[in-house]
Chains A and B, each alone.
Chain A
Amino acid sequence: MDIRLLDYQSTSAAGINLSNLRDSIDRQKSGLRPNDLAGSDINTWIGRVSAVDNIELGEWQSRNNALAKLGYEQGDIQANVEALKQQYRPSRLGIVMGSSTSSIDRTETAYQHLEDGALSRDYKQANVHNPHAPSLFVAHLSGITGPAVTINTACSSSAKVFATGARWLAAGLVDAVLVGGVDTLCLSVLHGFDSLQLVSENQCRPLDQARDGINLGEASGYSILVRGDDGHADTGVRLLGYGESSDAHHMSHPHPDGLGAKLAMQQALAMSSLRAEQIDYINLHGTSSRANDLIEGRLVASMYPSSTQVSSTKAWMGHTLGAAGITEALIAVDALKRGVIPGSMNLNELDHELCISVSADNMERDMSYVMSNSFGFGGNNCCLVFGSA
C-alpha cells in the first residue's frame, strides 16, 4: 500500500511550527532552558513551549490540550483537514493520537485545588481526566467524526500512530487519517524521571562520552496520511514501512543487546523492501541516558554501514516522551525533503564504545530513505521508514 504524507507540522521548544523548527536546525539553536516549570524545583533543563501558557479552553482546559490546539493551528493542517472533510465526509476521516501524559497535568492541578477532599467545580472534566483525552479533544477541535483512537505506549506512542493510520487506510476504513502526538511537561514526568535518576542537570548530550541523562520537553505534531493512488497533491513523501516489537526485558531498562529494537528495525526494513545500507539517515531515539545511547549506538553500528548517517535531535527540544515519535519522524521526513541532516547537537566527544557515522554539525545530502527509532517504557519499540515517492 502506497501511504503518503499529505502534510505535516511540528510544535516544540525548537519552533512553534515547521518553519521555525527548520530555522532552529539551520542555526543549531536549542530550545532548552533551565527548568522553570511552575511548582518544580528540579535542577535540570527543559524544552518548554511558553506559547501554551495562556490558551483558554474552558471545559477542555489542560496544558496538553492547549499544546494539541496550538499545534493543530500551525501551517496548513487545519485547512487541509477542512478540505478533506469537504471532499469526503467528516465521518470518512480518522484520528490516531499518541500520548503518554494525556492530560495528567490537569489532574495534578485539580489535586492542588480540592475542596473538602473533592474535585472543585472547574476541574470536573471527565473528558479531560482520562487517557483518551487527546483524541477526544482533537475530534472536538477538528470536527472529524470518524473513528478516533489514542495510542499510549509511553515514548513510542506517536511513532505507532503511523502504523495504525497506514493500516486504517489500507483496510479502507477511512479516506484520510490525522495522526498526531502530544505530550506536555508536568510534575509527574519531571519528578518521575528524577526518581529514576535519569534527569541531567546539564543540557543533554546524546551519544557523548560525558552524557549524564535526559532533558524533558513537550511537543505536539501532526501529519495527514492518505493513499497514494487517491490523487492528492501530497508532499511526495511515503511511509514505506514500520516495525513494532517488545523487549520482553524490563519496565524501564532497555534490553542490554537491544534485541527488541533490532526486531523493530528489521521488520521496518523488510516491509520497505530495503537493505540496511540503503538507509541514508537514522534519527535515533538517542535520549542521552547512559544505557539507551550505548545500546542503540552499538546496535546501529552492527546493522548499518558507515554510509548511514545518524543523529539524535533531542538537544533541540528535549525528550518529548509521547510526542517524541512523531516529532522525530517528522524531523527525519523533513531532512529527506530538504536534503539537510540535522547534526547531533551538543555532541563533543562520541562515546568511546561507539563506532557510528555521526556529527554535531548539520550535513547537506541528497537522500532516498530515512528511518526514525522510538523506544518506550515497558520495552515498547517502533521504527519507521520513509522515502521519496
Chain B
Amino acid sequence: MQKLVFNVLGIGAWGSGFRNWSDLQIRMTGGQVEDDGAKGPKPEVIPANERRRAPLPVRLAVEASSQACEHAGIAPSELACVFVSGLGDTQLTDYMCKVLAGENKALSPTKFHNSVHNAAAGYWTISTGCMQAANSVAGFGESVSLTLMEALIQAQAEQRALLLTFYDAPSSPILKPLLKNEHAFAVSIVIAPSNMTPPAPGNNDATELVASVVEQAVDWPSGEWSDDLAECYTTNPVARILPVLELVTGQREDLIMPLSSATALSFSRTKNT
C-alpha cells in the first residue's frame, strides 16, 4: 500500500498528572507538574447542565479534543473525528450490570444513553455543532495503532483534516482484575494529509510523519517514562499514543507498533518543526 504522509497540526491532553500538552511534554521528559488535585476535567465547551451529567470518559475526551482544535487553530465544526476508548465506560457498565442483577431493573435513561461507546463523539459533536462524520471505534490493546491507521486512511481518501481522540478512564473495581487501568488518560491530535489542497491551516510548520503498514509481528515499543506515566503506558490501552507523541517532539526518529498478530504500523519523521 501507499505510504500515508501527514502533518500533526495540534495536540491536546488531560490525564493523571497533566492538564494539557505542555504538561504532558514535561512529564514525558521526566519532569514533574504540580498536582491541582482535580479528579477530572470540566470542559467549558459542554454547556453546564449537560456537563454535570457527562461521564468522566466523555469529559476527558472532550477536553483533550477542545485543546487540540485550539492548538491547531481549526474550528471543531470543520473536522471529522474518530474517537477511541480501549475499555469503554466501565463505571457505567458497572452501574447497569449491578442494577440489572437486582430485583428492580429500572435504569436511568440518561445513564443508558450515556452508556453507548460513541457517547464522547456524541457530546463532542453536539457541544461544538459539528455535523461532520464522527466515528467511534474500539481496538482493546491495539486501540491506538488501529485508530491511527483507520483515521489516516480516511484522511487520505477524503482529503480532509481529522480529529483523533484517545481516552480511557480508570476501570471499575469489579472489572479491574481484567481491565487493569488505574489512570485517566486522554490525548487528541489533529492531523491532515500533507498533500491536501488547499493545505490545512498550519500545515507548513507542522511536524510531518510518514506511516506505512507492514506484514510483521511486533511487540509494543518500550518507553523510558518515570513512575506512574510508565505504569499508565502498560495498563491504559490509549496511553500507547505516547511513543507517537515522542515522534512529534523529536525524541524518536521512527517507531513500529502492532496492528494485529501479523501486521504492524510503522512511522518515521520527515522534517522538524
Contacts and interface: CB of A to CB of B under 8 A. Distances in A.
Interface stretch (B20-28, B107-115, B197-205, B224-232): B107-115
A139 B260 contact: yes
Interface string B126-137: 101111111111
Contact of B140 (A40, A130, A146): A130
Contact of A153 (B121, B123, B150): B121
Nearest to A166: B157
Interface in A4-40: 39-40
Contacts of B131: 245-248, 259-260, 263
Nearest to A89: B215
7 contacts: A114-B174, A172-B2, A246-B130, A248-B77, A248-B126, A248-B128, A251-B126
A91 B130 CA distance: 36
Interface stretch (A64-72, A73-81, A119-127): A119-127
Given A147-B149, A152-B136, A195-B108, A91 B260 contact: yes
Given A245-B133, A379-B126, A154 B118 contact: yes
B236 interface: no
A203 B105 CA distance: 23
B51 interface: no
Interface string A176-205: 000000000001100111111000000000
A362 interface: no
Contacts of A252: 109, 113
Contact of A172 (B1, B121, B123): B1
Contacts of B134: 153, 244, 246, 378, 380
B88 A131 contact: yes
Nearest to A267: B133
Interface residues of B, number: 68
Contact of A145 (B116, B121, B262): B262
Given A107-B97, A152-B136, A250 B87 contact: no
Interface of A: 39-40, 89-92, 100, 102, 104, 107-108, 110-112, 114, 117-119, 124-127, 129-132, 135-136, 139, 145-154, 160, 164, 167-168, 170-173, 187-188, 191-196, 244-252, 259-260, 263, 376-380
A149 B146 contact: yes
B85 interface: yes
A326 to B, nearest CB: 16
Contacts of A108: 96-97, 100-101
Interface of B: 1-2, 4, 77, 80, 85-88, 93, 96-101, 105-109, 112-119, 121-123, 125-126, 128-140, 143, 146-147, 149-150, 153-154, 156-157, 174-175, 177-179, 213, 215, 259-263
A131 B84 CA distance: 10
B117 A171 contact: no
A376 B1 contact: no
Contacts of B93: 104, 107
Contacts of B137: 149-152
Given A108-B101, A147-B213, A154-B118, A131 B96 contact: no
A377 B101 contact: no
B49 to A, nearest CB: 13
Contacts of B125: 246-248, 378-379
B121 to A, nearest CB: 6
Given A110-B97, A111-B97, A160-B135, A129 B175 contact: yes
B54 to A, nearest CB: 10
A251 B114 contact: yes
Contact of A129 (B109, B126, B178): B178
Contacts of A167: 153-154, 157
B221 to A, nearest CB: 18
A152 B116 contact: yes
A93 to B, nearest CB: 10
B268 to A, nearest CB: 18
A146 B260 CA distance: 6
Contacts of B114: 251
A366 B156 CA distance: 37
Contacts of B262: 90-91, 145-146
A323 to B, nearest CB: 15
Nearest to B93: A107
Given A148-B260, A170-B157, A196 B113 contact: yes
Central interface residue in A40, A118, A130, by most chain B CB within 10 Å = A130
